[in-house]
Amino acid sequence: MTYIPKILAFAGSTRTDSFNKKLVKIAEEGAKAAGAQVTYLDLRDLPMPLYDGDLEIKEGIPPNAQKFKELLLAHQGLLISSPEYNSSISGVLKNAIDWASRALPGEVPLACFTNKVAGLLSASPGALGGLRALVHVRSILGNIKVLVLPDQIAVPKADQAFNTDGSLKDAKQHSAVQNIGSQLARMLIKLGS
């Protein structure tokens, strides 16, 4: 029986017409074509309060943060498309990671991140396409025990890069984004064999 890896795909943006939501869906196509099962998550559907240690002590991990943790635990791979906010990671993405990193009583620290493999993408209207944010995302994930694929894609001038159907106008760029998803799926299949 062939091993079918499970990948959680999401963007670090809650905006309805987010470039990064469009981008991660293209990478999702590549992961599915390479044999992975992909779950797409819109972080807008799981609103979480800003991480607050006092809130955690008083009320525990919020229900939506717990749902996010459960999704992470149920998947071996992560496809993350991160917008760039002021040369760094978006607040919504960092907050989701911070809440998910919190251990429940009796749980191993960083249980939902340990031994995961991630593929990274970014899209931005700027000339660098979000590259500066990806440096920070890569650093954060590496420090919480996630193996991050060396290849990554940053799509510059994202406000001009997409067709109305969500595909990228540049066919080579579209294929390169799909390839991040397929690389992730193939890596997970190798690790799971």
Residues 68, 96 contacting (CB under 8 angstroms): yes
Percent of the chain past pLDDT 70, that is, above it, reads 99
Q: What percent of the chain has pLDDT over 90?
A: 97
Residue type present at position 77: G
Q: Which of 192, 153, 149, 174 is nearest to 35 (CA)?
A: 192
Distance of alpha carbon 27 from alpha carbon 44, whole angstroms = 20
What digits encode the pLDDT tens for the residues 147-178?
A: 999 999 999 999 999 999 999 999 999 999 99
Span 6-192 CATH architecture = 3-Layer(aba) Sandwich (3.40)
Q: Smallest Cα–Cα separation from 145: which of 85, 103, 186? A: 103
Given a contact cutoff of 8 angstroms between Cβ atoms, the answer to whether 48 and 65 are in contact is yes
pTM above 0.85, yes or no: yes
Mean pLDDT of 71-79: 98
| Per-residue model confidence as pLDDT tens digits over 11-60 | 999 999 999 999 999 999 999 999 999 999 999 999 999 999 999 999 99
